[in-house]
Amino acid sequence: MQLQDLLLSLSVAISTAHAWSPTDSYAPGEITCDADVNLVRNATDLSSDEQEWLKKRDTITESAMKTFLTRATANFSDTSFLDSLFENSSYVPRVGIAASGGGYRAMLSGAGMLAAFDNRTRGANENGLGGLLQATTYLSGLSGGNWMTGTLAWNNWTSVQEIIDSFSDSNTSSIWDITNSIVTPGGNNSTFTSERFASIISDIDDKQEAGFDITLVDVWGRMLSYYFFPSLPNGGAAYTWSTLRDADVFMNAEMPFPISVADGQYPGTSVDSLNSTVFEFNPFEMGSWDPTLNAFTDVKYLGTNVTNGSPIESGKCIAGFDNVGFIIGTSSDILNDITSSYEAVLTYLETEFLSDSTATSDEYTLGIYSPNPFKGTTNIDSNYSTSIVDSDSLYLADGGEDGEVVPFIPLIKKEREIDVVFAFDNDDGSDDWPSGSNLISTYERQFSSQGKSIAFPYVPDLATFSDLGLNERPTFFGCDASNLTDLAYVPPLIVYIPNAQYSYPSNTSTYTLSYSMEERLEMIQNGYEAATRNNLTEDSGFLGCVGCAVIRRKQESLNITLPSECEQCFANYCWNGTLTDVSSVSSSNSSYSNSTTTLSSGAAESTTASSNASNSSSTSSSSAASSSSAAKANAAASVETGKLFSLLTAFGVLFSLM
Ligand SMILES: *[C@@H]1O[C@H](CO)[C@@H](O)[C@H](O)[C@H]1NC(C)=O
Ligand SMILES: *[C@@H]1O[C@H](CO)[C@@H](O)[C@H](O)[C@H]1NC(C)=O
Ligand SMILES: *[C@@H]1O[C@H](CO)[C@@H](O)[C@H](O)[C@H]1NC(C)=O
Ligand SMILES: *[C@@H]1O[C@H](CO)[C@@H](O)[C@H](O)[C@H]1NC(C)=O
Ligand SMILES: *[C@@H]1O[C@H](CO)[C@@H](O)[C@H](O)[C@H]1NC(C)=O
Ligand SMILES: *[C@@H]1O[C@H](CO)[C@@H](O)[C@H](O)[C@H]1NC(C)=O
Ligand SMILES: *[C@@H]1O[C@H](CO)[C@@H](O)[C@H](O)[C@H]1NC(C)=O
Ligand SMILES: *[C@@H]1O[C@H](CO)[C@@H](O)[C@H](O)[C@H]1NC(C)=O
Ligand SMILES: *[C@@H]1O[C@H](CO)[C@@H](O)[C@H](O)[C@H]1NC(C)=O
Ligand SMILES: *[C@@H]1O[C@H](CO)[C@@H](O)[C@H](O)[C@H]1NC(C)=O
Ligand SMILES: *[C@@H]1O[C@H](CO)[C@@H](O)[C@H](O)[C@H]1NC(C)=O
Ligand SMILES: *[C@@H]1O[C@H](CO)[C@@H](O)[C@H](O)[C@H]1NC(C)=O
């Protein structure tokens, strides 16, 4: 055997053993791939990998759904509808869950909400919605919500209960130990902080030396990873997104299909829900269904220099670019937002970090995916901009940059055939409580040219959300398919679950970067209570009503008689089309028309709400305190690491200003 062959077989063996980055570091590395491989496909349908996976998942969710619905409707006078529903496996309702952004607030509150659906949570089968997560097919997350979903999925589908059980004052290696802020990971121990930072900088250096562009998002992702993957060497520096394909729990479809959302955003531009290109990352692919891309690429080979999907150098691909922290960091890239609000930080970055560079600060605050995996692809619909495929680099930002802070887009795609989407809204509207603005953003998008292939139920304007308290308790949208026939197709029913105060004031600032163990537990418990109407004490029938929402679309399309209990549930929980602010409406029945008067007033208010929130002075004292020790740690090691350290200082400055 030639030495070369021996090495090759060795490296194959290693990569199948744990399929991480081929360099076993943060740097991507070269691997061989088929000479005729094409990494890009037209976004006409679900990938064949996803379709194969769904077959396995459907079998599992079918029996879990039967268990859940049987429990949820145990009090119903007539449960014969269950027989009709389980007569044929294609009748079984398909469920998606979408977890919004909102920093650690969204991660923790969202974790509590998800725990309420998980039969592995103590109590969830008695006072919660336990078992519904086991019957769920898709789980999307964005920004802080994606910190939650990504942590669970890429830790072998651990549970919130298991994470909580590992919390302790002394255990500093537990998942989500965010007692110390990311800018002072060592707390008072500045040696620890400088070692951590030095390690991050060396990772970033590795990637740069391997010939790849880096930005602040690489640093951000590395910093965050230690809190999500504490059990992995070096905070998961070599851990890749596509590794999930080799995890038993995913291969056997024993968990939902995780999706992370980010927005395409070029330096110097801004996006809103009407013109953004929404990207999804799933375990097989990344790309966009939107007409301005209409393509997906194999996520495992990001970083490969391609034209129209074919590697420029035949047989040579890159792997290891799809670092888990980098993708999670991209989805939560709020840096761009922060810096544009704070001139001082902008100036600081420019003078300290970018002084000898021609790049604008904007270019350093977006995630860079270069070489562009979609360079030269030809799937874009005619009459749409080709700017994404023409560019040498693809830039991605926080999935909430376009106002769609609940990651609905992947779940409302017709091809995914989802019947009900549970929307966890931990976004910040007024006083850091949700306003409903993100539902309005996605609703409006369907009437733009970018949204031509999506449908979303009618929702009211912001004033109605607040007047009727729809943003304070669970509310169902799109209860009657017969009212949605004007839309591109009948969208899923939306069960909206907003963050609200039960046992804890969970409207903490998005920029609070540290929580004590007690605070974490309280945030999680409050989220659980918000999702269960206070552990079913506010309405003992709520579990049954969730069952009604789950079966609704299939009950309608199969002409199954609606259980009488569901009629009462829908009267209680469905938004029935009422608007309270009649002056903003152009005609009396416009709640069901495409009236742009109502809609644009909603959008304008939502912009105001979010800019108020980001200017709010709710600073966590811990994050302010952190930055001075970060600066100290910086000074200690700045000699060797130079410029990259000033970058970390910039983070400290950035967050102390929040
Ligand atoms: C949770 O649900 C799954 C699927 O129905 C089932 O196999 C498992 O036994 C349940 N676990 C608990 C603790 O109820
Ligand atoms: C609600 O249930 C959860 C999970 O069982 C529990 O941790 C929490 O203490 C309960 N809340 C109240 C107010 O009883
Ligand atoms: C997942 O489980 C496998 C097999 O037990 C283990 O080798 C791996 O380290 C686990 N991954 C994480 C992130 O915990
Ligand atoms: C500080 O952190 C360093 C590096 O992790 C560790 O070796 C040292 O024991 C820590 N010091 C204290 C006082 O905990
Ligand atoms: C998207 O629309 C907003 C609002 O009209 C505009 O400010 C922005 O420049 C547009 N962005 C792009 C990329 O077209
Ligand atoms: C990718 O290939 C093109 C065409 O050969 C070349 O111009 C470009 O420099 C390459 N990019 C990188 C990052 O290697
Ligand atoms: C991509 O799919 C669309 C829709 O099916 C089709 O119109 C278009 O021609 C396809 N493009 C390519 C390059 O195959
Ligand atoms: C069934 O009814 C009892 C008594 O009203 C109530 O306590 C219980 O929560 C109900 N169960 C469900 C699943 O609705
Ligand atoms: C349900 O009823 C409608 C109208 O009566 C009919 O068009 C449709 O085919 C029926 N669907 C099924 C599955 O029986
Ligand atoms: C559906 O539309 C009808 C007629 O406009 C209205 O009476 C009903 O309340 C609507 N239902 C829902 C759930 O929106
Ligand atoms: C619709 O909801 C509003 C507000 O909750 C209520 O006042 C009104 O009576 C409801 N209308 C119908 C037809 O149920
Ligand atoms: C809503 O807009 C769609 C797409 O522009 C159009 O086809 C439909 O007729 C409109 N519906 C109403 C009620 O105006």
Residue 290 forms beta bridges with which residues? none
42 lines ligand 7 (CB under 6 A): yes
Ligand index nearest the alpha carbon of residue 571 = 11
At the second CATH level, the architecture of 3-332+366-592 is 3-Layer(aba) Sandwich (3.40)
Residue 262 forms beta bridges with which residues? 279, 398
With H, G, I as helix, E, B as strand and everything else as coil, classify residue 95.
Answer: strand
Residue 30 forms beta bridges with which residues? 318
232 lines ligand 3 (CB under 6 A): yes
537 lines ligand 8 (CB under 6 A): no
What residue owns the CA closest to ligand 3's atom 4?
247
**Confidence at residue 181, expressed as pLDDT on a 0 to 100 scale:** 84
467 lines ligand 11 (CB under 6 A): no
**Confidence at residue 172, expressed as pLDDT on a 0 to 100 scale:** 65
pTM of the complete model = 0.88
**Confidence at residue 561, expressed as pLDDT on a 0 to 100 scale:** 97
Contact call for residues 305 and 314 (beta carbons, < 8 A): no
**Confidence at residue 511, expressed as pLDDT on a 0 to 100 scale:** 83
For residue 292, the surrounding DSSP H or E stretch is none
Distance from residue 306's CA to the centre of ligand 6 (Å): 8
Residues 498-536 have pLDDT tens digits of 999 999 999 999 888 899 999 999 999 999 999 999 999
Q: Which atom of ligand 3 is nearest to the CA of 229?
A: 13
Ligand index nearest the alpha carbon of residue 542 = 8
Print the SS3 string covering 607-634. Answer: HHHHHHHHHCCCCCHHHHHHHHHHHHHH
Contact call for residues 119 and 160 (beta carbons, < 8 A): no
What residue owns the CA closest to ligand 7's atom 4?
44
CA distances to 1, 76, 344, 355, 356 from 350, in Å: 55, 64, 10, 6, 9
Q: What are phi and psi of 422, to 5 degrees?
A: -90, 120
Residues of the chain with pLDDT under 70: 1-18, 169, 171-172, 336-362, 582-658
Q: Which atom of ligand 10 is nearest to the CA of 577?
A: 14
As a whole number of angstroms, the distance between CA 361 and CA 344 comes to: 12
**Confidence at residue 582, expressed as pLDDT on a 0 to 100 scale:** 66
| Sequence-distant (≥ 6) Cβ neighbours of residue 48 within 8 angstroms | none
Distance from residue 188's CA to the centre of ligand 4 (Å): 10
**Confidence at residue 600, expressed as pLDDT on a 0 to 100 scale:** 26
Name the residue of 482, 594, 598 whose CB sits within 8 Å of the most ligand 12 atoms, as the mutation to test its pocket: 594
Q: Which atom of ligand 7 is nearest to the CA of 294?
A: 1
Which pair of tokens denotes residue 263?
A: 């927005």
Please give the single-letter amino acid code of residue 154. Answer: W
423 lines ligand 8 (CB under 6 A): no
What residue owns the CA closest to ligand 4's atom 13?
189
What residue owns the CA closest to ligand 2's atom 6?
525
Name the residue of 129, 537, 540, 572 whose CB sits within 8 Å of the most ligand 8 atoms, as the mutation to test its pocket: 540
Name the residue of 263, 274, 275 whose CB sits within 8 Å of the most ligand 5 atoms, as the mutation to test its pocket: 275
As a whole number of angstroms, the distance between CA 456 and CA 486 comes to: 11
CA distances to 42, 55, 141, 480 from 137, in Å: 24, 11, 14, 23
Distance from residue 443's CA to the centre of ligand 12 (Å): 13
Tokens 């965010």 appear where? 178
| Sequence-distant (≥ 6) Cβ neighbours of residue 454 within 8 angstroms | 409, 412, 413, 442, 445, 446, 488, 491
**Confidence at residue 124, expressed as pLDDT on a 0 to 100 scale:** 98
Please give all residues whose beta carbon lies within 6 A of any atom in ligand 2, as ranges: 122-123, 127, 503, 525, 528-529, 535
For the chain, what are the domain ranges?
3-332+366-592, 625-656
Distance from residue 277's CA to the centre of ligand 6 (Å): 25
Contact call for residues 620 and 512 (beta carbons, < 8 A): yes
Q: How many residues does the chain have?
A: 658
DSSP letters, 569-607, are: HHHHHB--S--S-GGG-SSTTGGGS--HHHHHHHHHHHH
What residue owns the CA closest to ligand 10's atom 2?
483
Q: Closest by alpha carbon to 405, among 510, 335, 478, 287?
A: 510
Distance from residue 443's CA to the centre of ligand 10 (Å): 17
- Relative to beta strand 257-264, strand 394-398 is antiparallel
**Confidence at residue 60, expressed as pLDDT on a 0 to 100 scale:** 98
Residues 151-169 have pLDDT tens digits of 999 999 999 999 999 998 6
What residue owns the CA closest to ligand 7's atom 6?
379
Name the residue of 84, 485, 559, 560 whose CB sits within 8 Å of the most ligand 9 atoms, as the mutation to test its pocket: 559
CA distances to 209, 234, 648 from 366, in Å: 20, 24, 16
